Amino acid sequence: MQIFPIRAFDPPGDVTRLREQVREIIRQHDHRWTPEERCNPWLKCDARFSRALGDAGLLGLTWPRRYGGQGRSVLERYVVLEELLAHGAPCGCHWIADRQTGPLLLRYGNELLREKYLPGMARGEVFACIGLSEPNAGSDLASVRSQARRTPDGWVLNGQKIWTSNAHECQAMLALVRTDPASERQAGLSQLMIDLDLPGVTIRPIIDMTGEHHFNEVFFDDVLIPFDSLVGTEGEGWKQAMAELAYERSGPERYLSTYMLFVELVDAIGADPPEPVVQLIGRLAAEIWTLRQMSMSTAAKLAAGEDPVIEASIVKDLGNAFEQAMPRLIQAAVDPDLLAGSALERMLAHVLVASPSFSLRGGTPEVLRGIIAKGLGLR
């Protein structure tokens, strides 16, 4: 038995040209980005840059042309993503819409919803956030309590979402809510696409331990939502939301969140670095290369219609562990006085504090290892 058989990553078309196209757009914008903005780049927001990507036809890359997409392959999209992340380009505004909300609307959404949201998302003008977690539904997502009641005029939603990244930058939320008041756990849940400017929606910031504002609480007080905002089938929300999570586990964002630290480390230490730092660079390079192979292979399996649930969990577990360890290892190995005033000094200070969040999003190591153990037949 081979635990991780590799599948060839073979995108169609001129990949070198595609990479160069992305790098050129980044070069037009990167003078505006602070060292902190270039770390954890798929959380950091630059709406202007997102629009530039939309103008260049690099968002909604795989979506049909009639919804503003480009009809290109998922592997070409993978190439675009890894280029953006490896160059520390802030993609937080459009990331969720492009990665999961858009694809979910394509898969489950009605025609009205697709036409309403997808073209704007592909232009880099309409951004979406994830409405899953609630105060008492974190890792145990089936405890969701926000409730949408059916009335003659539409759904009336009451409840609260929390830890909603970048809700304050977004126009819409795809939320998992209870539509059957008598239901429990996974049953009776549905997905609603909610415009965040509707009366009764309140977004309040939660400042995280880096001092930045990404998290939010989102409150719903008798929010009237049109019936056609229901995504997919009433009562099938749990299944649809799980499919949504599968889009997000094995992508390049699972190991490249702190890649810019590696770039700055190599540049900061100069041509004749001390041996422990050389050793560290070698180890980090070996891990980056290995994780890239694993992530690309999993993308190729997804593209081929396979369902690599275990592989995706493996990539996320290893990738998160790596991107969290990197700042700690650099702190341990590099003389801080050599870094004074450098971009690396600022990035390191930021990422050492920001890195605990990397294993919160998309499943903690314990949750992922539970999934893997299940795949091994142990649970």
Binding site for other proteins (CB under 8 A): 1-10, 15-16, 19, 82, 86-87, 259, 262-269, 271, 273, 275, 277-283, 285-290, 292-294, 296-297, 311, 314, 317-318, 366, 368-370, 372-373, 376-379
- Can you give the length of the chain in residues? 379
Q: Which is nearer to other proteins, 169 or 264 (CB)?
A: 264
Shortest separation between residue 116's beta carbon and other proteins, angstroms: 37
Q: How far is the CB of 244 from other proteins (least distance, A)?
A: 23
Q: CA dist 282 to 19, 33, 204, 274, 334, Å?
A: 25, 28, 44, 13, 14
For 257-275, letters b (16+ CB in 10 Å) and e give bbbbbbbbbeebbeeebee
Shortest gap between Cβ of 10 and other proteins (angstroms)? 5
- Beta-sheet pairing, 201-207 with 154-162: unpaired
- Tokens 């949408």 locate to 148
Q: Is residue 18 helix, strand or coil?
A: helix
Three-class secondary structure of residue 63 per DSSP: coil
Rg, C-alpha atoms of the chain: 21
Contacts with 274 (C-beta within 8 Å, 6 or more apart), sequence order = none
**Taking the complex as a whole, how short is the minimal distance between the CB of residue 354 and other proteins, in angstroms?**
20
Nearer to other proteins (CB atom), residue 226 or residue 274: 274
Instruction: From the candidates 82, 83, 169, 248, give the one annotated as an active-site residue.
Output: 248
Looking at residue 46, its amino acid is D
- Of 27 and 204, CB closest to other proteins: 27
Question: Are the beta carbons of 27 and 84 closer than 8 angstroms?
Answer: no
In whole angstroms, give the CA distance from residue 71 to residue 65: 6
Query: Among this protein's residues, is 248 annotated catalytic?
Result: yes
- Crossing angle of helices 309-333 and 365-375, rounded to 10°: 140
> What minimum distance in Å lies between the beta carbon of 327 and other proteins?
16
Nearer to other proteins, 111 or 272 (CB): 272
Least CB distance to other proteins at residue 337 (A): 20
Q: CB-wise, 19 or 51, nearer to other proteins?
A: 19
Cα–Cα–Cα angle for 378, 359, 91, nearest 5°? Answer: 130
For residues 80 and 22, give the distance between their C-alpha atoms in angstroms, rounded to a whole number.
Answer: 7
Q: For other proteins, which is the closer residue by CB, 134 or 264?
A: 264
Catalytic positions, please? Answer: 248
